[in-house]
Amino acid sequence: MKKLVLVVIDAMKPEMLDRAIATGRAPALAQIAQQGTYVNDVVAAFPSVTPVCAASITTGVGPDQHLIPGMNWYHRVEERYIEYGTSFSATRQFGFVRSLTDTVYRMNAEHLSNATPTVFESLDDMGVRTAGTTYLIYRGRHQHDVAQESALAKVITSTLFRRTIFGPQELFYADLYASRKTGCRGQLGLPGVRDQHTGCVGSYLVEHDLCDFMLFSLPDNDSWSHKNGPHSQVTSLAAADRQLERLMHAAGGADKFFEEYAVIVTSDHSQALVEDSIRLDLALTDFHVATPSASKSVGAELALCPSSRAAMIYVLDPDRRSELIPRTLAAVKDVPGVDLAMYLDGGEAVMIAAGGHQLRFAPGRSVVDPRGLNWDVEGDLDVLGARINDRLFETPDYPDALGRVWSALNCETAGDILFSAGPGYEFVDWGGSDHVGGGSHGSLHRSDSLGALLWCGTGPATRDALAQWSLRDIAPMVRAHFGALEPLVPGTSGRAL
């Protein structure tokens, strides 16, 4: 059995991968595509933001099961906002220590459902030697204390970050945690050096044969694309490709590497150009909206949670839900850039587009989507640009729309109303920041929901094994590589890919 490397290139856009390969800027990725299988339309989770997608990649389930609902969300029990780092300004509004604590510790230890094992936990239980580089979801079975290898890490871990965490057997997280001394420095995860840290750690692990499975995280493409726009990605993908070449070099060259290692490369989502911003807060001036300040949020009616090109609104008084949802929808309906509003009404999901057109759906028997799930659908198909051919329900502009929205709305930690921005728009975050002139993601639309997925040495022989690939298919592929049946979610029967 070959060892396996799962490579996650944050926000990799398929069109830009194609261009990087065609221009010779990504030779390692080109070789993986040539020797294996390439899917150019793998569907992200919704909202298509990094925490939600990272949780789906590592667990194989949607937000209704892994319970990570967005970049910014409201904790109903603790009566406060959770901010995973939408922007520097947003993090400052909620407090750097609290935001970092939520991101580094609580996301894995408390927010991520214990009922959905990660690939690290599944493989640890099978006796597979696991390893992880800096990635939002790292939960495994092995205990790790804070690292003090560098002077900077000693300062941080002696003042702010002191907790023991559980991760894969070998864990390297932004200099905060390092299961062994490698000589690699990550500058505490600063953008622009994160890929290099991953490449350094990964090549060390390969050179010393320290793992059978490695999650190889390359996040810098996302920050580059946020700043420079998604069509600038050839440069950042070339930089990511160089870190893959470091892995191959550590194994003795490309040929030797592919003899010993299988590889899966995936985006977590894509990115779309942002030309204008959406201020939902200005549309909600007639409501008492909770703020980052707890003292100013007593008696609040709503909580507003922007997550880049998606947003959520929480009704904080359950007894007034039937009153506040219609009022909120009426207040937002004419806001430019809001493409879709979604909420649950009894046992049905309701989607509202511009002009008030509605589409209702729920699990049923009337139509089947490309992933084989059956639904009952009623209302205006133009809300999603949908078409039905011989019961097949297709939504080219909103891939896997019904399944993704149903999962997002049925996530118990999600808001009562979900929003998706139209092409070219982004919701302004709590720090007043946006990415106008650059790129962003989060929506249900294909422009930032379709990523790239490649594999060689593992997985199905062709992409035709599934009519529509999703991030939820990656964890089953990883587990199946090491002999597990899938899915490994409680209450379901196993199947092998």
At 455-473, the pLDDT tens digits run 999 999 999 999 999 999 9
CATH code at 22?
Answer: 3.40.720.10
For residue 443, the number of C-alpha atoms closer than 13 Å in the C-beta half-sphere is: 27
Whether residue 189 has pLDDT greater than 70: no
Residue 490, pLDDT score:
33
Rounded mean pLDDT, 398-407:
98
Q: Which domain does 189 fall in, by range?
A: 3-272+446-481
Among the candidates 414, 437, 460, a domain finishes at 437
For residue 369, the number of C-alpha atoms closer than 13 Å in the C-beta half-sphere is: 25
Q: With bands split at pLDDT 50, 70 and 90, how would you rate the model's confidence at 157?
A: low
Same domain, 200 and 54: yes
Is residue 496 a part of any domain in this protein?
A: no
Residue 245, pLDDT score:
97
Residue 175, pLDDT score:
84
Among the candidates 412, 437, 462, a domain finishes at 437
**Partner residues linked to 132 by β-bridges:** 171, 215
Rounded mean pLDDT, 388-403:
97
Same domain, 247 and 388: no
Query: Three-state SS for 441?
Result: coil
Same domain, 286 and 257: no
Amino acid letter, residue 44: A
Same domain, 235 and 367: no
For residue 468, the number of C-alpha atoms closer than 13 Å in the C-beta half-sphere is: 21
pTM above 0.85, yes or no: yes
Give the model confidence (pLDDT) of 304-319 as tens digits: 999 999 999 999 999 9
DSSP labels, 394-405 = E-TTSTTHHHHH
Residue 149, pLDDT score:
64
Same domain, 301 and 216: no
Q: With bands split at pLDDT 50, 70 and 90, how would you rate the model's confidence at 158?
A: low
Give the model confidence (pLDDT) of 332-352 as tens digits: 999 999 999 999 998 999 999
Same domain, 454 and 400: no
CB neighbourhood size of 60 (10 A): 28
Is residue 491 a part of any domain in this protein?
A: no
How many structural domains compose the chain? 2
Rounded mean pLDDT, 35-48:
97
Query: Tokens in use for 49?
Result: 């933001």
Give the model confidence (pLDDT) of 377-395 as tens digits: 999 999 999 999 999 999 9
Same domain, 291 and 209: no
Give the model confidence (pLDDT) of 475-490 as tens digits: 999 999 999 875 433 3
Strands of 170-173's sheet in order across:
37-43, 450-456, 261-266, 3-9, 213-218, 130-132, 170-173, 177-178
pLDDT above 90 coverage of the chain, percent:
88
Same domain, 216 and 297: no
Residue 155, classified by CB atoms within 10 Å of its CB into exposed (0-12), middle (13-18) or buried (19+), is exposed
Same domain, 245 and 288: no
Give the model confidence (pLDDT) of 240-279 as tens digits: 999 999 999 999 999 999 999 999 999 999 999 999 999 9
Is residue 378 a part of any domain in this protein?
A: yes
Same domain, 27 and 117: yes
Same domain, 281 and 256: no
Q: Nearest-CA neighbor of 383 among 354, 349, 409, 418?
A: 354
Lowest mean pLDDT of 44-58, 84-98, 371-385, name the range: 84-98
- Measure the CA–CA gap between 271 and 237, rounded to whole angstroms: 13
Tell me the pLDDT of the chain averaged across its residues: 93
Is residue 392 a part of any domain in this protein?
A: yes
Same domain, 42 and 66: yes
Looking up tokens 């239980």 gives 125
Is residue 91 a part of any domain in this protein?
A: yes
Is residue 487 a part of any domain in this protein?
A: no
